[in-house]
């Protein structure tokens, strides 16, 4: 599994619409609006780096309203807390 984080600067009046379109893209598992230097973060999870390249360069890059992106590749996960919660939804203890 390949995980990447894409940070984005987005035109102010298009943040919500860009976030909604990002969330619909295959390979994008989460989208967050954030404060600070960037406006949105997309968490991308795909099986192969070729798929990552396609998501970033063929889909995200073409969304209207995105001014700038920075994509970081995750090497190793040190916390599985969020993933454990996600997979336990609906399971009884």
| The pLDDT of residue 8 | 98
Model confidence over 57-68: pLDDT tens digits? Answer: 999 989 999 999
| The pLDDT of residue 91 | 52
**Mean predicted confidence (pLDDT) in 77-92:** 61
The count of C-alpha atoms lying within 13 angstroms of the C-alpha of 8, restricted to the half-sphere facing its C-beta, is 28
Contact predicate 40/32, CB 8 Å: yes
pLDDT at 25 over 80: yes
Choose among 24, 22, 4, 25: nearest CA to 66: 22
Token pair of 73, please? 């590749």
| pTM assigned to the model | 0.82
| The pLDDT of residue 89 | 56
Domains in the chain with CATH codes: 2-87 (3.30.70.920)
């Amino acid at each position: 599994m390949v995980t990447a984080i894409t940070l984005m600067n987005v035109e102010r009046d298009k943040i919500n619409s860009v976030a909604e379109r990002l969330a619909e893209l295959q390979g994008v598992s989460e989208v967050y609006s954030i404060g600070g230097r960037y406006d949105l973060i997309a968490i991308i999870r795909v099986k192969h780096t070729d798929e990552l390249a396609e998501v970033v360069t063929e889909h995200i890059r073409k969304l209207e309203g995105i001014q700038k992106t920075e994509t970081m590749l995750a090497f190793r996960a040190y916390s599985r807390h969020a993933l454990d919660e996600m997979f336990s939804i609906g399971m009884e203890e």
